[in-house]
Structure formats: structure tokens, C-alpha cells
Amino acid sequence: MGFQTPFQDYGIITANPLNVEHILKTNFENYPKGQRSTTFLKDFLGQGIFNSDGEQWRHQRKLASHEFNKRSLRNFVVNTVQWEIENRLLPLLRRAEERDEVLDLQDILECFGFDNICKVAFNEDPACLGTKEEEEKSMSKEFKKAFGDAQSLSMVRFMDVFPYTWRIKKVFDVGSERKLRESMSVVHEFATKIIRERREKPVGMLCGGEDLLSRFASEKENSEEFLRDIVISFVLAGRETTSSALSWFFWLVSTRPDVEVKIVKEVEEVRARYQNSGESFGFDELREMQYLHAAVTESMRLYPPVALDTLACREDDTLPDGSFVGKGWFVTYSAYAMGRMEEIWGKDWGEFRPERWLEDGVFRPESPIRFPVFHAGPRMCLGKEMAYIQMKSVVASVLEQFSVDVLLKGRTPEQVLSMTLRMKDGLPVQVKKRERLTV
């Protein structure tokens, strides 16, 4: 379907896998220069990995992907997640259980995601899930607020019916553009301060220099601005994606007690096999949780965190379904629609069925073209492994100790699409201590 208005870029929305393969692998690019669909984020992300193009992007992606594939980073991610689960998430749930409190699980998971990505990206603890005192003391409190504001104010630019209103507001420094400028300057100043501190202290003194910033900062040719933009990109990528996936997951599982029992049974079996007496799990243990891996993936099929994604056409082209696409037009593919197509998933596409991902009990991945939840092709998500570590750790540790009662009286949460697919009114839950299943 193509459309044009005097105010919008030309565009096509598709869910046809052949079209999706075409746009992800040929003649299309992410975030080209000069497009309304992409400039809205440019001021915020600068030359960060999401926005850059051509040679510079290739260089950044190469550097980032080299670091992302290192075992030491994986260990750092696992340790960071374990710490946050044992010291913050589980104690918070225990307190809520004792006090019979109702919690907004979406909000808690977003705080968890933010703490986690800030530690992994630059070894700062915003203590968003910590105690009030911890949060007050934390340098990152202001950063968190400003980051959230900058992200939503950038979206205001994109959602505006008239593409030039924001440019006029920007020139006169008024309204949402003034607020955006102020929030961005808090984010940029905070990131720059951390980068300067990191450059002054030799790598090795700071947590073994394991966070992403230390890894990039050790290369002298990386400018301060480059480092700042790359850090902001990582925080943006990791901030709401995993929490969106987990919120929908916990809601879906609450509607399927049979799936929940299978997950808990698997978690208890792994715990027993490894004779692990802690409260969280290591990488090898998580890797053995194949049913859980399938359940998390199945949940993202129905509720992909990045529900829509847009690329732009480099030269006039024709899609495999015959649609003409002009140079500079953008094509949006809907991972949400693709996850619900009978041609791809069969007649039971509407059922939450983790088993569809398992072959002899082992997870069998689907082609990223048919399941483009993490994107596909040269710009595929770099944090996929990190995301699975975080999501599986949270689910395994929480469901092992608690049952999560969703207080929606059978209603489906209302969706709201910002950069990620969120629940409009959060996810109200009460947790109860779980009796052990006998393994």
C-alpha cells in the first residue's frame, strides 16, 4: 500500500516476506539524510550507530560488533544482570509480597532495563530500582529523566501532522523544541562528563574496563563526540526493548498456566542439575533453558518490541509484489503484522504456543526475514544475545520464586506505540511466593 500527502514523505507499508527480504538486503538504507522519517532523531543521536551512514557507520558497526562478540562482555552482562536481580528486583518483589502491594510490573521492568543498560554501557548505576536514598545519591537520576524526555520529545517531531512545525519551533527555541534542547543538553553533558573521567583514568581501574564505553574509549582515535553518540545509542537500544518484551511475556504467561508450569519445571531442573544455591543463573544454565527461550521468542512473535521499522529507497525500484518505490521513499515493514500471518505461522498463528519453536526439545530459530523482530541483514540488532540473557534471567529468577497475578480481570492490555510497543496503563500485578514444584 503506498500513500502520499503534502505533509508526509512518500511511503509504503508492507508485511510481505518477499518485500521485506528485498528491502533489508538490497538498495534500501536505514536513516538516510534529509528524510523527515529520520531527521527527527538526528539531533539526539548525532552520529551514533543508529543514525550514521556510509563509511562512518560501517566503521562504528564493525567496532561495536567486535566488542559485542567478546566473551568478556558477555560475562560482564551476566554479572550485571545477576547483581540487579539479587540485590534489587527480588528484594523489591519480596517486600511487595509481605505488604500485599499492587505493583506496575511494566514500570519495574523499565527501571530494571535502564539500570542494566547504563551499567553495561558506561558502568554507571542510576539505581532506578534501588532505594530512594540510592537513587537520590546517584548521578544518573537527572540523566534518566532527561533521556526519557528527549526520546519522547523527538517522537513529537515525527508524529506531528505538519513536518515543518518543529523546525520553526526549533529556530525560535520555543515549546517542545526548547524542552528538547534542554533535555538533550543534560544528556549530552552527563555523557561527556563520564567520557572525560573515563579517559583520565587508565582502563583496568574501572571494573576491569569491561563496560562498552571503556572498550571504545581505549581507542585514542575515537573522538569525545563519537563516544557520546555511541553511548546514547546503546542506552536508547537497550532501554525499553527488553522491558517491552518482558511486560507482554508476563501478561501472556498469566493467561496460560500450562506454559508457566513448564517454564518453572525447566528452571527447577536446571537449578538442581547445576546444584546452584544462588537466586539467579549463569550463562550455561540459561543456555540450557530451551523451553524458556522458545516461550520468550513466541511472546515476541505476537508482541514485537519494535513493531514497525522503516528503511528508505536509494534508487527507483520495484518490490517483489510489483509495487513501485521511488528514490527517497520510505518503506515500513510491520514485524507485528508478520507475527500474525497465517501464511507464515499456520492456522494457529493466534495461539501462544512455545512448542512451535522446538524440535526434539531444542530451540529451532526461524529465518530473520520471516521473524524480523531483531531486524535482519547488515543492520541486524547487535544486542540480541544480551537481550536474551537479560530476559531469560529475569523470567527464570522471578517465576522460580513467585507467581505473578495480573490484575486485569481477563482484559488485554491496551497497546501504545512509541519507539517500542508498550502497555498504555502499565501492568498491575500482585506477586505471591511460589511453592516448589517437585522436579
Residue numbers belonging to the annotated binding site: 381
Query: In the chain, what is the straight-line distance between the N-terminal and C-terminal CA atoms, in Å?
Result: 52
Nearer to ligand HEM, 90 or 376 (CB): 376
Nearer to ligand HEM, 22 or 170 (CB): 22
How far is residue 75's CA from residue 4's CA, in Å, rounded to a whole number? 49
Whole-number minimum distance, CB 53 to ligand HEM, in Å? 10
What phi and psi, each to the nearest 5 degrees, are found at residue 24? -80, -20
The region of 100-108, 160-168, 174-182, 240-248 touching ligand HEM under the rule CB under 6 A is 240-248
Name which position in 36, 61, 94, 141 contacts ligand HEM (CB under 6 A).
61
> Interaction with ligand HEM in 358-417: which residues (CB under 6 A)?
373-375, 379, 381-383, 386-387
List residues forming the annotated binding site for heme.
381
Nearer to ligand HEM, 25 or 201 (CB): 25
Helix (H, G, I), strand (E, B) or coil at 65: helix
Nearer to ligand HEM, 169 or 289 (CB): 289
Q: Most distant CA pair in the chain: distance in Å?
A: 67
- Under rule CB under 6 A, residue 213 binds ligand HEM: no
269 exposed, middle or buried (CB, 10 Å; 0-12, 13-18, 19+)?
middle
Helices assigned H by DSSP within 8-138: 17-25, 36-45, 54-68, 71-84, 90-99, 105-122, 132-137
Contact letters for ligand HEM, residues 322-361 (x by CB under 6 A)? ----------------------------------------
Closest by Cα among 331, 339, 333, 330 to 370: 339
Q: Over 346-405, what HEC string results?
A: CCCCCCCCHHHHEECCEECCCCCCCCHHHCCHHHCCCCHHHHHHHHHHHHHHHHHHEEEE
Contacts of 229 (CB under 8 A, 6+ apart): 45, 46, 47, 48, 49, 51
Nearer to ligand HEM, 44 or 50 (CB): 50
Within 10 A of 439 (CB to CB), how many other CB atoms are there?
13
Name which position in 14, 19, 30, 80 contacts ligand HEM (CB under 6 A).
30
How far is residue 372's CA from residue 358's CA, in Å, rounded to a whole number? 19
- Under rule CB under 6 A, residue 49 binds ligand HEM: yes
- Under rule CB under 6 A, residue 241 binds ligand HEM: yes
Nearer to ligand HEM, 111 or 401 (CB): 111
Name which position in 73, 118, 227, 245 contacts ligand HEM (CB under 6 A).
245
Closest by Cα among 244, 260, 315, 437 to 32: 315
Whole-number minimum distance, CB 227 to ligand HEM, in Å? 14
Count of residues that interact with ligand HEM, criterion CB under 6 A: 23
Whole-number minimum distance, CB 410 to ligand HEM, in Å? 27
> Interaction with ligand HEM in 282-311: which residues (CB under 6 A)?
305-306, 309
Residues that bind ligand HEM (CB under 6 A): 30, 49-50, 61, 233-234, 237-238, 241-242, 245, 305-306, 309, 373-375, 379, 381-383, 386-387
